[in-house]
Structure 1
């Protein structure tokens, strides 16, 4: 959830919100902003089953290693109730890189997202688009944004 900014916006819009972050510092900051507990949790530890109607993973899955993304998306898929929706995005591109401070970034393009979703038949892609963020021109980056819905399994 990072700083908790988006979680707060969802709560102010009337949604019941649960948030978590892998960084203890970010979890503390979000807890202060939200006035609620924000656990320190990695995507690889998500074990919820059909708990959420929606998942907002804005600028967060991009920190997961490419090899771990299928398992992480499977975990998030299981956390959604059938019919639930999930938003996620990546900086546009291909491959993995590290920032000067050591943070990992996984970039994705349409083919990369399709390959991920092909392995997850319970996730139906509702929308996939690219665009630039609205920061100043010198900081602006291109993103791929994806909205999926969990469909019931056929078994």
Structure 2
């Protein structure tokens, strides 16, 4: 359902998200990484952040579940963006950081713990992980996309259920997208336990 939405609207989505200013959350994430760290952009969308991480000297791996978005991201970043789903993640201790900006929010709540364990296992011990969800509770469908919304309490419960992670930072931030100024986002920065 959600992948089909992005396949149909790839160019529009790319155009409306590629220029969003993510400097503040990116800096919060990158200051916890060593120079040249290995970063996974999980659900990279337009490739906006993967491109910046690459320009900052990080070794970037990026994937998206939408073939059309992955193709657009490949052109934008100059990186080999692969087509893959969260369910296919099988890396083990391969990355120093994972960036999952506005991507895990499309995973059904019942599947989030197992998906997050896959991603946690892809991190080295001590590795850091940025993720963001629309602020709220429960699941909903909007124009053919599934959203799992989280508030602070739900996020803490989810992290505890996944295990092996500690929350380094959590906050509620305004939307950075001009089209949705009233939206709020729950942003998490976690570290894989040593």
Local SS of the residue matching 1:17: strand
Please, which runs of 5 or more residues in structure 2 have no aligned partner? 1-43
CA distance in 1, matches of 2:63, 2:72: 11
Q: CA deviation at 1:16?
A: 0.9
Higher helix share: 2
Deviations 1:28-79 (A, max 9, x none): 0111112222111111110000000000000000010000100011000000
Deviating beyond 3 angstroms after TM superposition, the runs of 4 or more aligned structure 1 residues are 134-140
Q: Cα distance 1:133–1:151, how it changes in 2: closer, same or farther (>3 A)?
A: same
Length-normalised TM-score, structure 2 = 0.75
Q: Which moved more, 1:113-122 or 1:19-28?
A: 113-122
Number of residue pairs aligned between Structure 1 and Structure 2? 151
Q: CA deviation at 1:19?
A: 0.2
For residues 109-120 of structure 1, the aligned pairs below 5 Å read 109-120=151-162
Q: CA deviation at 1:98?
A: 1.1
Match of 2:136 among 93, 97, 104: 93
Match of 1:142 among 168, 175, 184: 184
Please, which runs of 5 or more residues in structure 1 have no aligned partner? none
Q: CA deviation at 1:134?
A: 3.3
CA distance in 1, matches of 2:71, 2:148: 25
CA distance in 1, matches of 2:178, 2:106: 23
Length-normalised TM-score, structure 1 = 0.93
